Amino acid sequence: MGDFWVFGYGSLIWRPGFTHVATRRAHLYGFRRSLCVYSWVHRGTEAHPGLVLGLDRGGSCVGLAFRVPGDLREEVVAYLRERELVTNVYSERWLKVLFEDSTVEEALCYVVDRHHRQYAGRLAAEQAAAVVRGAVGQSGPNEEYVFNTIRHLAALGIRDHWLEDVSARLSIAED
């Protein structure tokens, strides 16, 4: 099998965790980046859930696509399934992404399951900040996850106004 692409829109941008041979900025249409998943493992617990990003339907999302050598397909997909499908709140989908040079490729994406009990839906920035604030999971504090994502998106010149609003509300609370 040939090389394949993996689309990152959140923590995969700043911590992919798998071998790849190229990274390209990519645009995914029909889905948006959203803090719409209650985290019971990585950034919270069932008793005090945090929020993590999911690809939710509607809008579009700019992120990074990582090209993975075909001979690493099984290894990388197994890693991503262990990381992303811990509670099966995401479904694995092959979706078309558009690169800056107008080429289109299919990429492996993890899309939120709106029927899963961890789906938080579309929250106001103040509601999202309230959930994120103080939540901690196996991968660390939820605030750190939001701040890392914002910092890396900014470094790539990617704006996410709603997520920036959540981050600002968290920063104000820290002061």
Q: Which residues are marked as active site?
A: 84
CA dihedral 120, 122, 125, 126 (to 10 degrees): -60
Select from 124, 154, 109 the least CA-distant residue to 36. 124
b/e map of 112-148 (b: 16 or more CB within 10 Å)? bbeeeebebeebebebbbbbbbebbbebebbbebbbb
Select from 32, 18, 36, 50 the least CA-distant residue to 132. 50
Could you tell me where the beta strands, DSSP code E, fall in 9-147?
22-39, 50-68, 90-99, 104-112, 136-137, 140-141
